[in-house]
Amino acid sequence: MTGFFITGTDTEIGKTYVTCALLRDMRGRGLRAVGYKPVACGDRSDARAMREASGETALSLELINPIYLRAATAPRMAGELEQRNLSIGNMVEGLHALASVGYDPILVEGAGGWEAPLAAPQLTMADLAVAFGLPVILVVGNKLGAVNHAILTARAILARGLECRAIVLNQQSEQWSAACVSNRRLIEQYTGLPVRAELICGQREIDSRTVLGV
């Protein structure tokens, strides 16, 4: 199985938007790609969007998103509110369940940012990424402050012994600034990692071969 872990410098930074763009491109090339959202909080819109991008409308939402928590907060707190113990092992099993029915590649999307609290006592999304052991794709919102956030997150990914395969800059606003123009160059210089895609606001197309190498 080929897989990638999609994370972001923050919540609401465009992880699902980028994931869906990658899925549509791979599907368009004939790959049986699918998205996997181990845990979702608040609603299941991300999982539904990934299912639609995969073209697998009949696929059970429970396979794409095995853990759904109603509160729109960090998974740990949402789990505590429902008195549910979140298990990384169960989330890894969910990935293998998708792979066992022939999906490949699988794009695993985290919830929130890299260190979003996941479960007691001190587990975060980073621990889940380590358990998967997949190359990481870092989504960065192209705005003022992006360089700082990208450096911190990229260093945290590498410190966990994981590969940061690529950075994707995502422009969420139609307004451009000096930061938006210069962020790519500075992020590459300070992280030593490639920005393999730079999406402008509203862009739905992305070359998955350039970003993922598959």
Q: Which residues carry out catalysis?
A: 37
How far apart, in Å, are the Cα atoms of 135 and each of 130, 200, 203?
10, 24, 24
| DSSP 8-state code for residue 98 | H
How far apart, in Å, are the Cα atoms of 22 and each of 31, 169, 214?
11, 14, 11
Residue tagged 């909080």 (tokens):
41
Paired residues of 138 in beta bridges: 7, 167
Pairing of strands 123-124, 164-170: unpaired
**Which of 133, 132, 139, 175 has its CA nearest to residue 154?**
139
Distance CA(194)–CA(40), nearest Å, equals 29
Q: Where are the beta strands (DSSP E) in the chain?
A: 3-8, 34-36, 39-41, 67-69, 106-109, 117-119, 123-124, 136-141, 164-170, 195-199
